Amino acid sequence: MQRPSQIKNKHQKWTDLTFSGLESFLAGEGVNPIHAATLWKMFLREGMDKSHPDKHGRLPQTLNVWLAQNKPFVPEIVSTSLSDDGLTRKSLLRLEDGEMIETVLMGYTGRTTACVSTQVGCAMGCSFCASGQSGLTRNLRAGEIVAQVVHCAGVLQKTDLGRLRNVVLMGMGEPLHNYDSVMNALEIISDSRGLNIGSAHITVSTVGHVPGILRMAEENRPFNLAISLHGASDAVRESLVPAGKRWPLDELLDACRFYGKKSGRRIFFEWTLVSGKNDTLDQAEKLAEKISGIDAHVNLIQLNATASFHGAPPSENMARSFQRTLKESGIPATMRQGRGGDIAASCGQLRLRTDSSTDTVRKYPQQN
Ligand code: SF4
């Protein structure tokens, strides 16, 4: 049977489709499109792990037969680790082809956040980032991104922390390097017929992929944008973020201005403080100057240790002076608390221990 155009290649699945895409696909498969709502309820709201067709005796016969031949893949939970404070939970998930990804659930009461991966590995090679050290293996499909959010929502259902409120694309990978799958996934995640996570609660975090930012602006994508900046001059930025050579600072900031203007959203700038590299007051002053006129908020993060990067976080005094300089220049700046560092779930630490060797996996205690 000729498959509708929404399924573009043999690797794609119906779980990669937006609601309207699924309706068209079902119609092409000879299944009543009305069942798109049933499928989404089962797989997005009730959790994919309950999706075995045999457990859904209530389903119409045609849908049951179709589902038996089109079972969605549910990522296998290889291991889960919990931070010492109990608030951060990292899951190592195995995909259908054996590749592994990490998903982190940060459980602050009332503002629980899922931090999901968008690629296996990453091509951007940021020097302090564990994901960047291993290169890109492959892009994730939309359904594989959505499945991580469903996984986090399912974990939350077993706690008293409430429902999942926020999603940040800050795990492994550069989201805008996998644009189509990421935008499909975000459309699915934010759709009120499924997970219903409002677009104001979804943040796309990018290393500064200028074509992707411009495309988001032109397509009127309503999501928050966070830019991993880390340097207020091209030289400093390029020493930490090689992508800075391709998309220089001024070009990147122009793209941010355009996105801010089109979306009406505040832009978040992420700044990992590395002692002796980008923690100087000169960099703070330059940063304030460069982003003045943008509705911006700077998130300062103390460097997390990774085995392959020989850098250190600055002293508390140095970090506070950097923050003060920004504030005195009228730039809102927050010192983000390091969460989950003891389980390598903080920014720049994903992929550090996701090697598929058994030895590495064993480092994680099984929690469930
Ligand atoms: S910081 Fe982000 S963009 Fe840079 S290497 Fe890591 S995952 Fe890729």
Q: What is the pLDDT of residue 131?
A: 74
Total domains, the chain: 2
Q: Which atom of ligand 1 is nearest to the CA of 123?
A: 8
Q: Are residues 59 and 122 in the same domain?
A: no
Q: Which residue among 118, 134, 170, 174 has the greatest number of ligand 1 atoms within 8 angstroms of its CB, and so is best to mutate?
A: 174
**121 φψ region: left (φ > 0), alpha (ψ -120 to 50), beta (else):** left
Is 31 inside any structural domain? yes
* Judgement on whether residues 60 and 89 belong to the same structural domain of the protein: no
Q: How far is ligand 1, taken at its centre, from the CA of residue 142, in Å? A: 19
The pTM of the full predicted model, rounded to 2 decimals, is 0.88
Query: Distance between CA 1 and CA 176 in Å, rounded?
Result: 33
Give the span between the Cα atoms of 269 and 225, in whole angstroms: 9
Atom of ligand 1 nearest to the CA of 130: 6
Could you say which of 122, 152, 256, 347 is catalytic?
347
Q: Please check whether residue 266 lies inside any domain of the structure.
A: yes
Residue-by-residue pLDDT tens, the chain, 368 positions: 334 445 666 678 999 999 999 999 999 999 999 999 999 988 888 775 554 555 555 788 888 889 889 988 889 999 999 888 888 899 999 999 999 999 999 887 678 999 999 999 999 988 877 777 779 999 999 999 999 999 999 888 888 778 899 999 999 999 999 999 999 999 999 999 999 999 999 999 999 999 999 999 999 999 999 999 999 999 999 999 999 999 999 999 999 999 999 999 999 999 999 999 999 999 999 999 999 999 999 999 888 766 567 788 899 999 999 999 999 999 999 998 655 555 554 455 555 444 433 222 222 222 22
Atom of ligand 1 nearest to the CA of 171: 7
Residue 173 C-beta-side C-alpha neighbours within 13 Å? 27
**Distances 56 to 46, 67, 281 between C-alpha atoms, Å:** 12, 10, 61
Are 206 and 322 part of one and the same domain?
yes
**Structural domain boundaries, residue 31:** 14-69
- CATH value at residue 277: 3.20.20.70
Active site residue 328: no
pLDDT at position 341: 52
Residue 222 lies in a domain: yes
Among protein residues, the one whose CA lies closest to atom 4 of ligand 1: 126
25, 110: one domain? no
Residue 222 alpha carbon to ligand 1 centre in Å: 23
Judgement on whether residues 124 and 161 belong to the same structural domain of the protein: yes
**Catalytic, out of 23, 102, 238, 270:** 102
Domain edge (last residue) among 23, 54, 69: 69
- Asked if 218 is an active-site residue, the reply is no
Clarify whether residues 55 and 105 are in a common domain: no
Q: What residues contact residue 20 under an 8 Å CB cut-off, 6+ apart?
A: none
Same domain, 140 and 239: yes
Ligand 1 contacts (CB < 6 A) are 122, 124-126, 129, 131-132, 172-174, 207, 228, 348
217: left (phi over 0), alpha (psi -120 to 50) or beta: alpha
Same domain, 95 and 201: yes
Same domain, residue pair 38 and 92: no
Single out the residue in 69, 89, 116 at which a domain terminates. Answer: 69
Q: Which of 118, 124, 237, 349 maximizes ligand 1 atoms within 8 Å of its Cβ, making it the mutation to test the pocket?
A: 124
**One domain for residues 61 and 31:** yes
